[in-house]
A and B are shown apart, each in its own frame.
Chain A
Amino acid sequence: MHILTAKNLNKTFHQNVALHNIDLEIPKQSIFGLLGPNGAGKSTFIRIVNQIINADSGQIQVNGENLAAKHIGTIGYLPEERGLYKKMKVGDQLLYLAQLKGLSKKEAVQKIKAWLERFEASDWLNKKIEDLSKGMQQKVQFISTVMHEPELIILDEPFSGFDPINANLIKDEILRLREKGSTIIFSTHRMESVEEMCDYIALINKSEKILDGEKSKIKNDFKSNQYTLVHRGNGIITNDTFNLENKSDLGEGLHQSTLKLLSGASSNQLLQELINQKVDIVSFQEEIPSINDIFIQLVQGDKQNKPTS
């Protein structure tokens, strides 16, 4: 079951195409990484989902229903460019934002209390935002995004502005929210957090979706059947099982070779071959591409294909 489905989404700003025929399906209770270089159209997509702007054509469905005003309360949004009313007190501010999301005053007050306690920040209630440190402000901001317990949480660069300790705290909160049933759309340039947290990813480049799917499957698909071998002795002889792609000297008699399996062969066959050769195997590892590698490979490949744009 998908919490969010986008079909054939198009958006143009004064002749600039921001989104072109975007199809996306976001499974429930997952962390979905929305990736892409700057200006690819991620923010436009997020703004359309948040009903800040309208798509020129195409369809968005939330839980199978067409996106409408009533879904405002089911979405929590943390934009990349964020801020709060500086002169407003934390409590008033959260209350206002919660009520705008459709919570009753009573509910809102309870939730705010619970969240501030969770973040050990109960004494901030009557402080003005401008009197808080930047990190504290970011926490208040995060609370404002999730306090109405939205089914769908959209976070645009959630870790910017956090120190490593607070970033970890937020990361744990995001994982906990998924456990409790929320779905998180996560737009970021920090590939290590994508690697660490995302279940699914989609890559948007130049207003088009060029890749999407389960993260582990994508990584599998991008495997190049290469293995890294660290060994003593310098006598690898290639045959019809594998090619020697690269070789380097690590010093102290150690060498590193990159071996590529030729079609049909398995990693066990490769090992068998190597054991029979005159080298001592120190380590043997399959090369799995990182999301970062895939990202760069695809985006740069795209550039080479369309040098004019």
Chain B
Amino acid sequence: MSKIGLVIKREFDSRVKKKSFLLATILVPLLFPAIIGGMIYFAIEESKNAEQQKVYVLDEAGSFNFENDKKYAFEELNINLEEAKTIFTESEAYALLYFPKLELSDPQGITMYAKKNPSLQASSYFENQIESQIRDQKLKASGINEAELESLKTNISLSTINVSDSGEEKASSAGVAYGIAYAFSFLVYMFVLIYGSQIMQGVIEEKSSKIVEIIVSSVKPFQLMIGKVVGVASVGLLQFVIWVVLIFVLSSAVFSMFDLNPADMQSAQQSMSGMNGNSETQAMMENSKVGEILNIVYDIPYAYYISVFAFFFISGYLLYGALFAAVGSAVDNISDAQQFTMPITMPMIIGFLGTFMFVMPEPDGNVSFWLSIIPFTAPVAMMARVAFGVPAWELALSMGLMVVGFLFTIWMAGRIYRIGILMHGTKVNYKTLLKWVKTNS
């Protein structure tokens, strides 16, 4: 086995054989679905068990009319506001809606009294209700009758189709793209930082335990550094592959448990589209929406995403990993490393925040473009853009620059590393690092 191979093997074995690795690798894929599943379960349970809450309505204008629904039961009061408030405070009711006499053109003074801060959900629910009733009244005032009003109401759900250059149509969903963008860019961000700092810790450990001088009498410092970077990367990749496999197996199990086969859903949807039952259409809508999302999820070009992800994961990791190795070699202990890791993690954090602020809302914007081209932010930003679709030349440019970027950081890190690992007790600043980069030995 070559010497780099030996170093890689040692770095890999020493991490994979740890209990903490085994634990994290198996627990995380179990934990995430468990947490999400648990949250969904409780949300459903809560909405199922939620009691109807009473809402008093004091309508001095006499023009509002609320229908009871699953969540709220409305009771109209015909007293003055002070008395209504007393009744409300002494009751168990959730809220009191007060409508003063008002001008439809300028409705002022509508107030909701509540015992505790109403949730955003509740207040926007009431706002929507009131707004639509005011709109209806305005329409009636302009001479539209009930029947016409009813026929104006439509309920639509927009399905979006991506048309590719070849004319192929594909169902897409901004929500699904958003989810994928989020998941992938977060994964790159997390892996690069976690495994990057593992390299740094490994280098510091070798340096502080003084074994490094023995090792570099057998291997070149550059070989040692590359071996470490690659060894830690293989641990990360192994962990990722295990996660993907476990999550795939688990979610398949979940799908089959709930009988959510997308092919069935589609055929069910088609067979029912002929019928036009009024009450059933609502349920149908719900069903077809779920089916549609499942279809989109199944239609995702996983091979494409995963290969792009693998590229940006590996290249981003190499780029940052080399820098972390350089920092580890330059310092004597972890606490000294702080001042140097800041400038390394900064661009990564900027990339991550930029992804949320610019790339997700506007994947093809100017800022998004630059974030996904500059090698320091590209791994995170480009992963997010890829989910929304990105022109091939931009992807190629970004990948090309990525390669240039990590070759550069590895070269630079190698020069710092070969000197740094043999230095003990020297106070290192950026000037010294620069001097090391320039030194030939």
A144 within 8 A of B: yes
The distance in angstroms between the C-alpha atoms of A100 and B213, with both chains bound, is 13
- Residues in B with CB closer than 8 Å to A260 are none
Find chain B residues with CB under 8 A from A72 CB: 217-218
Nearest chain B CB to A75's CB is how many angstroms away?
Answer: 7
- Check B209 against A85 for contact (C-beta < 8 Å): yes
**B 173-222 contacts with A by CB, 8 A:** 205-206, 209-211, 213-219
Q: Please determine whether B217 and A54 come into contact, CB atoms closer than 8 angstroms.
A: no
Of residues 37 to 94 in A, which have CB atoms within 8 Å of B's CB atoms?
47, 50-54, 72, 75, 77-79, 81-88, 92
When the two chains form the complex, which single residue of A82, A87, A88, A99 contacts B210, counting CB atoms closer than 8 Å?
A: A82
B1 interface residue, CB < 8 Å from A?
yes
CB distance from A45 to the nearest CB of B (A): 14
**Contact at B211–A75, with CB atoms within 8 Å?**
no
Taking a contact as CB atoms under 8 Å apart, the answer to whether B213 and A82 are in contact is yes
In whole angstroms, how far apart are the Cα atoms of A281 and B439 in the complex?
Answer: 67
Q: Say yes or no: A85 contacts B14, CB within 8 Å.
A: yes
User: Would you list which residues of chain B between 107 and 160 have a CB under 8 Å from chain A?
Assistant: none
Asked if B441 lies at the interface with its beta carbon under 8 angstroms from chain A, I say: yes
CA distance A85 to B224 in the complex (A): 14
Q: How far is the CA of A81 from the CA of B214 in the complex (A)?
A: 9
Q: Are B14 and A97 in contact (CB under 8 A)?
A: no
- Interface size of B by Cβ–Cβ distance < 8 Å? 23
Interchain nearest-CB distance for B22 vs A (Å): 16
**Would B214 and A77 count as touching, CB distance under 8 A?**
yes
Most interface-central of A53, A96, A100 (chain B CB within 10 A):
A100
In-complex Cβ contact of B10 among A83, A96, A101 (8 A): A96
**In the assembled complex, A14 has its CB within 8 A of some CB on chain B:** yes
Q: Is B422 an interface residue (CB 8 A)?
A: yes
Please judge, given known A-B contacts A14-B435, A96-B6, whether A87 and B213 are in contact too, CB under 8 Å: no
Chain A, interface residues (CB within 8 Å), range: 20 to 34
* CA of A50 to CA of B218, assembled, Å: 8
How far is B217's CA from A72's CA once the two chains are assembled, in angstroms?
7
Instruction: Tell me if B14 and A79 are in contact (CB < 8 A).
Output: no
Q: How far is the CA of A52 from the CA of B212 in the complex (A)?
A: 11
Q: Which of A51, A79, A85, A99 contacts B213 (CB 8 A)?
A: A79
Indicate which residue in B13, B213, B214, B441 contacts A144 across the interface (CB closer than 8 Å): B214
User: Are B209 and A88 in touch, CB under 8 angstroms?
Assistant: no
Query: Do A52 and B216 touch across chains, with their CB atoms under 8 A apart?
Result: yes
Q: Tell me which residues across on chain B come within 8 A of A85, comparing CB atoms.
A: 14, 205-206, 209, 211
Cβ of B3 within 8 Å of any chain A Cβ, yes or no, is: yes
Note all chain A residues with C-beta closer than 8 A to B213.
Answer: 52, 77, 79, 81-82
Q: Which residues of A contact B215 (CB under 8 A)?
A: 97, 100
B6 engages A83 (CB within 8 Å): no
Cα-based distance from A96 to B216 in the complex (angstroms):
13
Q: Nearest Cβ distance between residue A244 and chain B, in whole angstroms? A: 52
Complexed CA–CA distance, A32 and B177 (Å) = 71
Residues of A within 8 A of B209 (CB): 83-86
Q: Does B424 contact A (CB under 8 A)?
A: yes
Contact B217 A88 (CB under 8 A): no
B422-441 contact mask (Cβ, 8 Å, vs A): 1 or 0 = 10100000000001000101
CA distance A97 to B209 in the complex (A): 15
Q: List B contacts of A77 (CB < 8 A).
A: 213-214, 217
Docked Cα-Cα span, A83 to B1, in Å, equals 24
Which of A14, A79, A84, A97 is within 8 Å of B218, CB to CB? A97
Using CB atoms, name the residue of chain A closest to B421: A52
Q: Are B211 and A87 in contact (CB under 8 A)?
A: no
A81 to B208, CA, bound (A): 10
Nearest Cβ on chain B to A60's Cβ, whole angstroms: 14
CB distance from B188 to the nearest CB of A (A): 29
A52 touches B422 (CB 8 A): yes
With A53-B441, A81-B424, A87-B14 already in contact, the answer to whether A100 and B219 are too (CB < 8 A) is yes
Q: Does B218 contact A100, Cβ atoms closer than 8 Å?
A: yes
CB contacts (< 8 Å) of B3 on chain A: these are 100
Q: Which of A52, A79, A85, A144 has the most C-beta atoms of chain B within 10 angstroms of its own C-beta?
A: A52
List the B side residues contacting A100 at CB < 8 Å.
3, 6, 215, 218-219
The answer on a CB contact under 8 Å between B217 and A83 is: no
Which A76-124 residues sit within 8 Å CB-CB of chain B?
77-79, 81-88, 92, 96-97, 99-101
Q: Is the CB of B217 within 8 A of A75?
A: yes
- Are B218 and A83 within 8 A (Cβ)? no
The answer to whether B14 and A83 have CB atoms under 8 Å apart is no
B218 partner residues in chain A, CB cutoff 8 A: 72, 97, 100-101
Measured CA separation A92–B206 after assembly (Å)? 16
Tell me, rounded to whole Å, the shortest Cβ–Cβ distance linking B101 to chain A: 79
Interface mask (B289-314 → A, CB under 8 Å = 1, otherwise 0): 00000000000000000000000000
- Interface set, chain B 310-347, CB cutoff 8 A to A: none
CA distance A210 to B72 in the complex (A): 100
Q: In the complex, what residues of A have CB within 8 A of residue B424's CB?
A: 81
A131 CA to B13 CA in the complex, in Å?
20
- Inter-chain contacts of A84 with B (CB < 8 A): 209, 211
Give Cα A287–Cα B198 distance, bound, in whole angstroms. 61
- How many angstroms between the C-alpha atoms of A100 and B441 in the bound complex? 23
Instruction: Indicate the member of B14, B213, B219 with the most A CB atoms within 10 Å.
Output: B213
Q: Which residues from chain A contact B441 at a C-beta distance below 8 Å?
A: 53-54
Which residues of the partner chain A approach B214 to less than 8 Å between Cβ atoms?
77-79, 82-83, 97, 144
Distance A100 CA – B10 CA, assembled complex (angstroms): 11
In the complex, which residues of chain B have a beta carbon less than 8 angstroms from the beta carbon of A87? 14
Knowing that A14-B439, A54-B441, A85-B14 touch, tell me 16 more A-B residue pairs with CB under 8 angstroms.
A14-B435, A51-B217, A52-B216, A52-B422, A79-B213, A79-B217, A82-B211, A83-B214, A85-B205, A85-B211, A86-B205, A97-B214, A97-B215, A100-B3, A100-B6, A101-B218
Q: List 21 A-B contacts (CB under 8 A).
A: A14-B439, A50-B217, A52-B217, A52-B422, A54-B441, A72-B218, A75-B217, A77-B213, A77-B214, A77-B217, A81-B213, A82-B213, A82-B214, A83-B209, A84-B211, A85-B209, A88-B14, A92-B13, A96-B6, A100-B6, A101-B218
Q: Which 6 A-B pairs have the closest CB atoms?
A: A83-B210, A100-B218, A83-B209, A50-B217, A79-B213, A81-B210
B interface residues with partner A (beta carbon < 8 Å): 1, 3, 6, 10, 13-14, 205-206, 209-211, 213-219, 422, 424, 435, 439, 441
